Structure 1
């Protein structure tokens, strides 16, 4: 299997890894974009699964795995634009980055999946790491360099009139954002 497995039968998305010297990996994406005259609102925007290297003893993720978060964020932004949801791109990209990073850093899994769909006026985002446990944002020391991701997700979701939480015993972290009225058909 390649670096990513993309579940999107209607729009071809090709991922091409560009290897740099040593162990650095840079991901580039090529997406075919065909503008829609009337976007279809209740639809699957994208589904994507990728494997990550197992981590032991609190070691940081590999550079290759860390780079995948940015690649997935760019793919999701392209899919949102394609689906006529460009106004939501910035918030969704940030939420996806935070949820994927949380799964990468805290789950201990070997595979992460992301699904994005529009249903009943809401954009639904789900990140599955397959590992039980509850994602929760707590208090963070003022000088801490990390630990604010879920608080940021919470703020963005509340701003859009949505909700977020976990499911499947914590194996899935999801959020639901209200699609702006101007984006609905």
Structure 2
């Protein structure tokens, strides 16, 4: 049995000139108030988490993977659940300087996302708290941009181990 090859050290990271690691768009159906998204739409949440983790692993940013996967999962889930008007959700992961930007937007929003303080028995309302905690814990920040009918929620995190 041949021993596995030793892992090669990461000498420097090479990103696309525009810094984009992940740029996905998918459609969601318009729904009535109180109607939950279909299973196929919600399946995008773990799919986008896996895609983000794979891209971070590929670019040598594995230490960020768990936190970024949580942020992506919360933002994609919120976009699907709270954008009842459809039709498009965009997910982007990009490097800008020494920062990693996670952005999830909808082309038509049903409202502007807000940070809530749910009660101890509340079943919902903790997603943006989680994003806020990850951003603060990593020395980053998050926010909401609204333009026209669309809304984008973003999270800006310092790159782990980024060269100085």
**TM-score where L is the length of structure 1:** 0.75
Relative to its length, the structure with more strand (as a share) is 1
Q: Which moved more, 1:163-172 or 1:152-161?
A: 163-172
Q: Could you say which structure has the greater relative contact order, defined with CA pairs below 8 angstroms and 6 or more residues apart? A: 2
Please give the secondary structure, in 1, of the residue aligned with 2:43: helix
Structure 1 match to 2:77: 101
The answer for unaligned runs of 5 or more in structure 1 is 1-34
Contact 2:22 2:93 in 1 (8 A): yes
1:46 pairs with 2:26: no
**Superposition deviation, residue 183 in structure 1:** 3.8
Please give the secondary structure, in 2, of the residue aligned with 1:168: strand
**Superposition deviation, residue 98 in structure 1:** 0.3
Alignment of 1:15-164 (within 5 A): 38-40=12-14, 43-108=19-84, 109-132=86-109, 133-164=111-142
**Superposition deviation, residue 37 in structure 1:** 5.7
Query: Could you list the runs of 4 or more consecutive aligned residues of structure 1 that deviate by over 6 angstroms after TM superposition?
Result: none
Q: Which moved more, 1:149-158 or 1:162-171?
A: 162-171
**Superposition deviation, residue 57 in structure 1:** 2.2
The alignment yields a C-alpha RMSD, in angstroms, of 1.9
The answer for unaligned runs of 5 or more in structure 2 is 1-8
Equivalenced residue count is 150
Structure 2 match to 1:9: none
Q: 1:36 to 1:46 in 2, by over 3 A?
A: farther
Q: Which moved more, 1:81-90 or 1:128-137?
A: 128-137
**Superposition deviation, residue 184 in structure 1:** 3.1
**TM-score where L is the length of structure 2:** 0.84
